[in-house]
Amino acid sequence: MNVLVTGGCGFIGSNFIRQRLGEKDSPLGRLVNLDLLTYAGNPANLADIAGDPRYRFTRGDIGDEALVARLLAEHNIDAVVNFAAESHVDRSIDSPEPFVKTNVVGTLRLLNAVRRHWAGLPGGRKDSFRFLHVSTDEVYGTLGPDDPAFTERTPFAPNSPYSASKAASDHMVRAFHHTYGLPVLTTNCSNNYGPYHFPEKLIPLVILNALEGRPLPVYGDGRQVRDWLYVEDHCAAIWLVLLRGRSGETYNVGGLNERANIDVVTRICSLLDAKAPHADGRPHAAQITHVPDRPGHDRRYAIDCTRLQGELGWAPRETFETGLAKTVDWYLSNRAWCDDITSKKYARERLGSRG
């Protein structure tokens, strides 16, 4: 199976590529990574596998239909996994237009090129071809404290420009299946965390700010609840859906780990107190600072992944405790990567927690 991955230099995409190339006895043939390398795309995420003979990287835009068409034909692509997206809620509030350009128009143009490629494939390859679109639980809106978790049939109710743009892209993918017959799959995931996470998101932001003695910003009362999914568990689910999922279906992927943001922050502080204590003995939790809440901040997300578990036999391997400990250890061991990101990729004054 030759696979085109879009947005493969980002957080989830790079973990997916590394996992696929590292797996023994995989049906993977060639893996082509198309990434525009905007602020969150980092080639250093994949520096260790850049020399793998199965791997190819092309810098480019998913909205460039001619480029996508060339890659699909040149590499005899059998499946596309679309990670490419603008993904930070705070940035979408500041400026929604880039999110519409990439997440809606870009996805449409990618679908156009993929549909033409798929239509020209011979019978057997056409039947087995798949387009997998990676999306978010934020398209479903927000939940109350006692509401049941999101299922694949929960109506869309996006509350931020980011989630609205992802909802639109999900609808476009669905429309290409029902209108043109394109064999698509969609996954809607909960909050990811783990290695190579861009440090404007909550967990890496707290780890790095804590180590540097900077404030740990927490929106409002910090009681916003998220379902935390270790990125490697998510990547395994995506591959399983690509191989065995039913065409036209959506699969929710959750970590089965609901936690309030403030509890996540204090847990990170406790881990750092043990693994990297301040010289003066001051607890890292003393750096917690509550800041004004984000406009329209969703209160709770929770994922019901019964379909994924029942149909495909998936289950997360990491608990929140084991995954968070691994994540903290990775950031402690990879300070050079962190320093490069914080010095070159974004301005410090824009840092804010994601939740």
Cβ pair 184, 159 in contact under 8 A: no
Query: How confident is the model at residue 226, as a pLDDT?
Result: 96
Per-residue pLDDT band at 345 (split at 50, 70, 90): low
Closest CA to 42 of 72, 66, 18: 18
What percent of the chain is modeled with pLDDT above 90? 86
Count of structural domains, the chain: 1
Query: How confident is the model at residue 118, as a pLDDT?
Result: 98
**Annotated catalytic residue, options 138, 258, 304, 318:** 138
- Please count the CA atoms within 13 angstroms of the CA of 291 that sit on its side-chain side: 15
Question: Catalytic: 346?
Answer: no
Give CA angle at 232 (27, 227), nearest 5°. Answer: 135
Establish if 270 belongs to a structural domain.
Answer: no
Angle between helices 320-333 and 261-275 (to 10 degrees): 50
Domain span at residue 250 reads 3-196+230-257+303-314
Angle between helices 65-74 and 107-119 (to 10 degrees): 40
- The Cα 277–Cα 283 span in angstroms is 7
Question: Catalytic: 318?
Answer: no
Taken in order 288, 293, 297, 300, is the CA torsion positive or negative? Answer: positive
Which residues does 288 contact at the CB level (< 8 Å), separation at least 6? 215, 216, 218, 262, 265, 266, 269
Question: Catalytic: 339?
Answer: no
**Annotated catalytic residue, options 162, 196, 301, 331:** 162
The residues with which 228 forms a beta bridge, in sequence order, are 191
Buried b (16+ CB within 10 A) or exposed e, 239-266: bbbbeebeeeebbbbbbbbbbbbbebbb
Establish if 74 belongs to a structural domain.
Answer: yes
Establish if 320 belongs to a structural domain.
Answer: no
- The Cα 61–Cα 6 span in angstroms is 9
- The Cα 135–Cα 115 span in angstroms is 20
Q: Give the chain's mean pLDDT.
A: 94
Residue 7 has pLDDT above 90, yes or no: yes
* CATH number of the domain to which 110 belongs: 3.40.50.720
Establish if 277 belongs to a structural domain.
Answer: no
- The Cα 65–Cα 112 span in angstroms is 7
**Over the stretch 267-301, which tens digit does the pLDDT of each residue have?**
999 999 999 999 999 999 999 999 999 888 999 99
Closest CA to 130 of 148, 143, 117, 149: 117
Residue 347 has pLDDT above 70, yes or no: no
pTM across the whole model: 0.94
**Annotated catalytic residue, options 35, 137, 232, 304:** 137
- The Cα 166–Cα 178 span in angstroms is 19
The residues with which 134 forms a beta bridge, in sequence order, are 187
Residue 174 has pLDDT above 80, yes or no: yes
Summarize the confidence of residues 82-100 as an average pLDDT: 89
- The Cα 62–Cα 57 span in angstroms is 14
Instruction: Give the distance, in angstroms, between the CA of residue 280 and the centroid of all CA atoms in the same chain.
Output: 37
The residues with which 55 forms a beta bridge, in sequence order, are 31
Residue 38 has pLDDT above 90, yes or no: no
**Over the stretch 137-147, which tens digit does the pLDDT of each residue have?**
999 999 999 99
